[in-house]
C-alpha cells in the first residue's frame, strides 16, 4: 500500500529557478557548440590528424555515458547534506571552465602541447557532467511535484534555444579568433554556475514551506519499469540523432540549396521550444510517460511525412512537428524519471537518462565514422530507423502509461500516474 499525503502547493518563486536552469543549459550547450566548431582548427594547430577529430568526439560521448550516471548517483548521496551538491557542482564547473579556457592557447603552442591539450579536453568532458544530471536531481528531490513539468520545460528551453542558435553561431564564428568565444563562454558559464548554491537553498526552503510533499511507496516493478524507461529513452534518442543530425540536411537539400540550411534547420528547434509549454499541462495531469509515448508516435508520423514530402512547405511543417515531438519527449522524460525512480534515487535515474542520450550520440558519430552515411546500401536503414525507433518506443511507453492510469483510477491508494 502506498503512503499518501496531501500534496502541497507549488513552491512560490519556481519561475526564477526554471529561468536559471534554462540559462545554465543554454550557456553549457553553447559552450559545447563552440568546442565542436573550433575542434578541427584546434586539432590542426596542435598537430592532431583531421581523422582523429571524430575519434575525439566519440570518446567525449563515451565519457559522458559513464560520468553522467556516476554524477547522478553522487547527487543522490550529496543532497542528504544541505549545500553539498551545489558546492561540488560549482567547484567542478570551475575546473571545467578553467580547462575549457586553455584549449585555444594550448593549440597555439603546436604539437609539443598535443598531449596536454587532449588531457585538458578529457578533464573538461568529465567535469562537465556536473551540469547535466545534478541540477535536475535537485528539482526531483525538492521541487513540488506539480511544478516539475514546467521547470523541466524551462530547463530544456535553454537546450532548445542553443540548438536553434547553433547554425548561426557556426557561421558567425567561422573566421573569428577562437580565444574570444572560449573566454566568453567560460566566463558566462562560470558566473551562472556560482548561483547554484542560491538555487539549492531556494528549492530546499520551498520544500520545507510546502504543506506536504508526496511520498509514495516504491512500486514492486521499480527495477523493470526503470529499465524500460531508460531503454525507451535510448531508442527515442537514437531516432532523434539519426533523423536530425544525419537525415535532415539531405531531406532539406531536395528542395533547397546548401546556404539555405542555416535558415531551415532551426525550424526543428522552433517546434521543440514552442510545443513543450502546452505539453506541460498534459504531463502534469496524466504523467510524463503519457506525453513521451504520444510524442514518440507523433514524431514517427512527422519523420515519415518528411521522407515523403513533395515540397519545401511540407518539409518545414514536418520538421516543425518532429522538433515539437522531441521537445515534448525531453520535457516529460524528466517528470517521468522522477516518478519512476521512487523516493531517494531521482539523481541515479536522471543520470541514466543523460547517459542514454550520450550513448545515442555516440552511436550516431560511430555510424558517420564507419561510413554508413556514405554507403548507398545503408540508405534505407538510415531512412526507416528513426521511424521505427520512435514508433516502437512511443507505443511501449503509451501502453505502460495507459495501463498504470487505469490501475490508478481503480485504486485510489496506488501511486499517481507517471
Tens-digit pLDDT string for the chain (418 aa):
333 333 333 444 567 888 888 999 999 999 999 999 999 999 999 999 988 999 999 999 999 999 999 998 888 887 776 667 888 999 999 999 999 999 999 999 999 889 999 999 999 999 999 888 888 888 877 777 788 888 889 989 999 999 998 888 877 887 788 899 999 999 999 998 888 888 888 777 665 444 334 333 334 445 688 889 999 999 999 999 999 999 999 999 999 999 899 899 999 999 999 999 999 999 888 888 999 999 999 999 999 999 999 999 999 999 999 999 999 999 999 888 888 876 677 888 899 999 999 999 999 999 888 888 787 777 888 889 999 999 999 999 998 888 777 666 666 555 555 5
Are residues 241 and 174 located together in one domain of the fold? no
Last residue of a domain, one of 161, 190, 214: 214
Last residue of a domain, one of 214, 232, 263: 214
Within a domain: 257: yes
Within a domain: 306: yes
Are residues 351 and 314 located together in one domain of the fold? yes
Are residues 223 and 268 located together in one domain of the fold? yes
Are residues 228 and 338 located together in one domain of the fold? yes
- Whichever domain contains 190, its CATH number is 1.20.1250.20
Are residues 181 and 246 located together in one domain of the fold? no
Within a domain: 49: yes
Please count the CA atoms within 13 angstroms of the CA of 76 that sit on its side-chain side.
18
Are residues 242 and 320 located together in one domain of the fold? yes
d(CA 44, CA 110): 9
C-alpha 106: how far from its chain's center?
30
Are residues 153 and 250 located together in one domain of the fold? no
Residue among 392, 82, 130 at smallest CA distance from 235: 392
Within a domain: 6: no
Range(s) of the domain holding residue 126: 14-214
Are residues 123 and 254 located together in one domain of the fold? no
Q: Give pTM, 2 decimals.
A: 0.88
CA dist list (Å): 375 to 68, 175, 367, 381: 33, 32, 11, 11
C-alpha 349: how far from its chain's center?
13
Domain tally for the chain?
A: 2
Residues 6+ apart with CB under 8 A from 413: 1, 2, 4
d(CA 139, CA 335): 10
Are residues 209 and 232 located together in one domain of the fold? no
Within a domain: 254: yes
Within a domain: 300: yes
Within a domain: 4: no
Residue among 291, 268, 303 at smallest CA distance from 391: 303
Q: Hey, what's the cell of 236?
A: 527515442
Are residues 187 and 264 located together in one domain of the fold? no
Last residue of a domain, one of 181, 214, 247: 214
**pLDDT at res. 210:** 42
Are residues 373 and 232 located together in one domain of the fold? yes
Within a domain: 166: yes
Are residues 141 and 200 located together in one domain of the fold? yes
Amino acid at each position: 500500500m502506498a503512503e499518501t499525503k496531501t500534496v502541497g502547493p507549488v513552491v512560490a518563486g519556481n519561475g526564477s529557478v526554471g529561468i536559471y536552469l534554462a540559462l545554465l543549459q543554454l550557456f553549457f550547450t553553447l559552450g559545447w557548440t563552440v568546442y565542436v566548431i573550433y575542434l578541427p582548427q584546434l586539432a590542426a594547430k596542435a598537430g592532431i590528424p583531421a581523422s582523429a577529430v571524430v575519434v575525439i568526439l566519440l570518446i567525449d560521448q563515451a565519457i559522458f555515458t559513464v560520468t553522467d550516471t556516476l554524477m547522478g548517483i553522487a547527487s543522490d548521496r550529496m543532497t542528504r547534506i544541505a549545500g553539498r551538491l551545489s558546492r561540488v557542482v560549482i567547484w567542478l564547473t570551475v575546473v571545467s571552465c578553467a580547462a575549457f579556457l586553455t584549449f585555444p592557447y594550448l593549440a597555439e603552442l603546436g604539437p609539443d602541447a598535443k598531449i596536454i591539450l587532449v588531457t585538458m579536453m578529457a578533464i573538461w568532458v568529465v567535469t562537465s557532467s556536473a551540469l547535466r544530471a545534478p541540477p535536475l536531481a535537485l528539482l526531483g528531490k525538492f521541487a513540488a511535484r506539480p511544478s516539475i513539468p514546467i521547470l523541466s520545460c524551462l530547463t530544456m528551453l535553454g537546450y532548445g534555444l542553443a540548438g536553434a542558435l547553433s547554425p548561426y553561431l557556426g557561421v558567425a564564428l567561422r573566421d573569428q579568433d577562437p580565444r574570444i568565444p572560449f573566454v566568453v563562454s567560460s566566463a558566462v558559464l562560470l558566473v551562472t554556475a556560482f548561483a547554484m548554491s542560491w538555487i539549492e537553498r531556494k528549492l530546499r526552503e520551498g520544500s520545507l514551506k510546502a504543506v506536504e510533499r508526496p511520498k509514495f511507496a516504491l512500486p514492486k516493478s521499480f527495477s523493470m519499469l526503470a529499465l524500460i524507461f531508460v531503454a525507451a529513452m535510448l531508442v527515442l534518442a537514437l531516432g532523434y540523432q539519426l533523423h536530425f543530425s544525419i537525415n535532415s540536411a539531405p531531406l532539406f537539400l531536395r528542395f533547397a540549396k546548401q546556404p539555405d540550411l542555416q535558415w531551415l534547420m532551426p525550424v526543428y528547434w522552433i517546434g521543440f521550444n514552442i510545443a513543450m509549454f502546452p505539453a506541460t499541462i498534459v504531463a502534469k495531469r496524466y504523467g510524463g510517460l503519457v506525453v513521451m509515448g504520444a510524442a514518440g508516435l507523433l514524431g514517427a508520423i512527422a519523420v515519415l511525412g518528411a521522407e515523403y514530402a513533395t515540397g519545401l512547405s511540407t518539409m518545414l511543417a514536418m520538421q516543425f512537428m518532429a522538433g515539437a515531438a522531441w521537445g515534448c519527449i525531453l520535457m516529460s522524460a524528466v517528470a517521468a524519471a522522477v516518478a519512476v525512480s521512487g523516493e531517494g534515487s531521482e539523481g541515479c535515474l536522471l543520470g541514466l537518462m543523460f547517459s542514454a542520450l550520450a550513448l545515442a550520440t555516440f552511436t550516431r558519430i560511430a555510424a558517420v565514422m564507419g561510413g554508413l552515411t556514405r554507403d548507398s546500401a545503408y540508405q534505407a536503414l538510415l531512412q526507416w530507423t528513426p521511424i521505427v525507433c520512435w514508433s516502437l518506443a512511443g507505443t511501449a511507453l503509451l501502453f505502460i502509461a495507459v495501463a498504470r492510469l487505469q490501475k490508478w483510477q481503480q485504486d485510489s491508494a496506488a501511486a499517481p500516474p507517471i
